[in-house]
Amino acid sequence: MPTTASSLFSAYASVAGSVMLVRSMANDLLPPPLRSYISSKLSYLFTPLSSITLVIEEYSGAACNQVYQAAEVYLPTINITPSTKSFRVRKTNRQRSISRAMDKNQQVADTFENVNLTWQYTVTENKKYGNTHQFELSFHRKHRDKVIGSYLPYVLARADAIKEDEKVVKLYSSHLCSEYDRSYSKRKWGSVNLEHPSTFDTVAMEPEMKKMIVEDLDRFVRRKEFYKKVGKAWKRGYLLYGPPGTGKSSLIAAMANYLRFDVYDLELSGVQNNSDLRKLLLSTTNRSILVIEDIDCTVDLQNRDNWEDKSQDPTRSTSNKLTLSGLLNFIDGLWSSCGDERIIVFTTNHKDRLDPALLRPGRMDVHIHMSYCTPSGFKVLASNYLDIHEDNPHSLCGEVEGLIKSTEVTPAEVAEELMKSDDADVALGGLVNFLKRKRIESEKSKEEEEARKAKRPKTDHNASDEGEAVE
Ligand SMILES: Nc1ncnc2c1ncn2[C@@H]1O[C@H](COP(=O)(O)OP(=O)(O)OP(=O)(O)O)[C@@H](O)[C@H]1O
Ligand SMILES: [Mg+2]
């Protein structure tokens, strides 16, 4: 009888069927080490002659195999083949949702530019040396170059993107470190998940400024090659200044959530000397935001006694007290040259009290003034808290906006009023009364201030300067 395609297929199907049968019997009857051995051998037998199989082991010598790691992340996101009988599910505290993982000896099929590919996950059990894990990728041998040259790089890139999507942003705090670490002066970061829900949609600030910051961040992460070309460390410094409750910390959380960068919150008052600072900064990771809040009041950084002579090597003596020179040298030097994609944010309520060295051009790239609530800031808060927006307006909004224009009120104060009731009439009515009271109070205190100034002798320059500089 001549061999037809259909008879070949049916012969192949019956061999394949037998292989599946033997494999499932082996799974039921044999002890685990023998079972995985036979199963992996059968998978080779099952592979048609025109196919080729790439073996992707978990380790390459002592190092992790990145292709294996990428497959682990990528494969759960593609469709399960009808023959898949089991898969594993898991959720760690770093993951936002339940994820799938391939179970041993199971297969999934993928298609890439019209090439059909089959992945199989195998585990070879070995009590003495530990189990070995590998993926086997099979496809028609004519696609070998395409799979190695295009498909595997695609899997690597997809895995990076998936990991980025799943990433939970972490908040590392220098004051969360344990007593043990303190006593051995091994300064360490303690970490928790950054649960701050702030995003660029929920931060109340002028739309143009928001747009400017988002564009600046986008440009920064895009410009790896540019920074390399011009020989600059890939870092960016932001100074956020403004009165309490204007959203400086909220903006930092929005930046971190937008970029999915971890946040390192450095508590300078707990840092004893330059050497501590060095240890802390060197243990931060790439793609992170280092935050130093209230830079004007945490340490006496205006003390520049040692600035000139020690600035070359602020870490030379571990007994050195933390100095401004130590801090600035780190920003400019060591920390930035050994890391990539770093953002540093300083916040202050009093920009005028900062040492000019910190404000010098090139040190902090972007200065952002977070100020009192504006009508457009109020619109964002009204939408956040009461779901009031253009399509769902409220008659009191006009009055609130008028009052906000002429009153110094922080977004935190407005937010607090809006939170007092779910009923928009009640919450906005309360806000109107609050703003009116606030305006009367501020007019009264302005009058008192005027009266005090009029009584003051003319030579008292300092006090009047300070009064004007308050943001
Ligand atoms: N611009 C804003 N947009 C949205 N919410 C804000 C804004 N400013 C303040 N809030 C609200 O007020 C709270 C306090 O704000 P936040 O901690 O960001 O202020 P801050 O400027 O960092 O204050 P401080 O100078 O005291 O550290 C926030 O949790 C948020 O609910
Ligand atoms: Mg703050």
| CA 109 to chain centroid | 32
Asked if 403 and 432 sit in the same domain, the reply is: yes
In terms of Cα–Cα distance, which of 120, 155, 123 is closest to 135? 120
How many Å lie between the centroid of ligand 1 and the Cα of residue 446? Answer: 25
**Residue keyed to tokens 């906005």:** 428
- Does 470 score more than 90 pLDDT? no
The mean per-residue pLDDT over the stretch 170-195 comes to 60
Instruction: Supply the DSSP string of 7-62, one letter for each residue.
Output: HHHHHHHHHHHHHHHHHHHHHHHS-HHHHHHHHHHHHHHHS-TTEEEEEEESEETT
Asked if 383 and 248 sit in the same domain, the reply is: no
Instruction: Supply the DSSP string of 351-382, one letter for each residue.
Output: GGGS-HHHHSTTTSSEEEE--S--HHHHHHHH
Most confident of 163-172, 395-404, 449-458: 395-404
Q: What is the pLDDT of residues 1-14, one digit of tens each?
A: 444 444 444 444 44
Is 292 among the domain residues?
Answer: yes
Rounded to an integer, what distance in angstroms lies between the CA atom of residue 167 and that of residue 105?
Answer: 29
Residue 342 parent element (H or E): strand 342-348
Tell me how many domains the chain contains.
3
Last residue of a domain, one of 369, 387, 417: 369
Rounded to an integer, what distance in angstroms lies between the CA atom of residue 39 and that of residue 376?
Answer: 65
Rounded to an integer, what distance in angstroms lies between the CA atom of residue 335 and that of residue 277?
Answer: 10
pLDDT of residue 380: 96
Query: pTM of this prediction?
Result: 0.66
Asked if 309 and 400 sit in the same domain, the reply is: no
Phi, psi of 80 (to 5 degrees): -80, 140
Q: Decide: 343 in ligand 1 pocket, CB within 6 A.
A: no
Q: What is the pLDDT of residues 421-432, one digit of tens each?
A: 999 999 999 999
Residue type, 266: L
Rounded to an integer, what distance in angstroms lies between the CA atom of residue 424 and that of residue 421?
Answer: 7
**CATH no. for residue 233?**
3.40.50.300
Is 465 among the domain residues?
Answer: yes
Asked if 298 and 151 sit in the same domain, the reply is: no
Asked if 137 and 232 sit in the same domain, the reply is: no
Which DSSP state fits 340? S
Q: Which atom of ligand 1 is nearest to the CA of 204?
A: 3
Q: What is the pLDDT of residues 127-166, one digit of tens each?
A: 777 788 999 999 999 999 999 999 999 999 999 888 877 7
pLDDT of residue 446: 86
Asked if 120 and 175 sit in the same domain, the reply is: no
Asked if 182 and 317 sit in the same domain, the reply is: yes
Asked if 293 and 190 sit in the same domain, the reply is: yes
Last residue of a domain, one of 147, 166, 185: 166
| CB environment 398-432: b (16+ within 10 A), e (fewer) | eebeebbeebebbbbbbbebbeeeeebeebbbbbb
Most confident of 217-226, 289-298, 313-322: 217-226
Asked if 357 and 278 sit in the same domain, the reply is: yes
Q: Decide: 320 in ligand 1 pocket, CB within 6 A.
A: no
Last residue of a domain, one of 342, 369, 396: 369
- Does 185 score more than 50 pLDDT? no
Is 33 among the domain residues?
Answer: no
Q: Decide: 250 in ligand 1 pocket, CB within 6 A.
A: yes
How many Å lie between the centroid of ligand 2 and the Cα of residue 444? Answer: 28
Contact 36, 120 (CB under 8 A): no
Helix (H) and strand (E) counts in the chain? 20, 15
**Residue from 196, 213, 249, 379 whose mutation best tests the ligand 1 pocket (most atoms within 8 A of CB):** 249
Asked if 386 and 275 sit in the same domain, the reply is: no
Rounded to an integer, what distance in angstroms lies between the CA atom of residue 47 and that of residue 60?
Answer: 25
* DSSP H stretches of helix in 184-319: 207-222, 224-230, 248-259, 274-282, 295-298, 307-310
Q: Print the domain residue range for 449.
A: 378-469
Q: Which atom of ligand 1 is nearest to the CA of 243?
A: 25
Asked if 155 and 71 sit in the same domain, the reply is: yes
Q: Decide: 73 in ligand 1 pocket, CB within 6 A.
A: no
Q: Tell me what the pLDDT averaged over the chain comes to.
A: 79
Which residue CA neighbors atom 30 of ligand 1 most closely?
A: 412
Asked if 146 and 185 sit in the same domain, the reply is: no
Q: What is the pLDDT of residues 411-455, one digit of tens each?
A: 999 999 999 999 999 999 999 999 999 999 988 888 888 888 888
Confidence of residue 458 (pLDDT cuts 50, 70, 90): low
Rounded to an integer, what distance in angstroms lies between the CA atom of residue 432 and that of residue 444?
Answer: 19
How many Å lie between the centroid of ligand 1 and the Cα of residue 217? Answer: 21
Rounded to an integer, what distance in angstroms lies between the CA atom of residue 457 and that of residue 162?
Answer: 67
How many Å lie between the centroid of ligand 2 and the Cα of residue 351? Answer: 14
Confidence of residue 199 (pLDDT cuts 50, 70, 90): very high
Phi, psi of 113 (to 5 degrees): 45, 55
Better pLDDT: 410 or 270:
410
Is 311 among the domain residues?
Answer: yes
- Does 179 score more than 60 pLDDT? no
**Residue from 194, 246, 348 whose mutation best tests the ligand 1 pocket (most atoms within 8 A of CB):** 246
Q: What is the pLDDT of residues 90-101, one digit of tens each?
A: 776 656 677 778
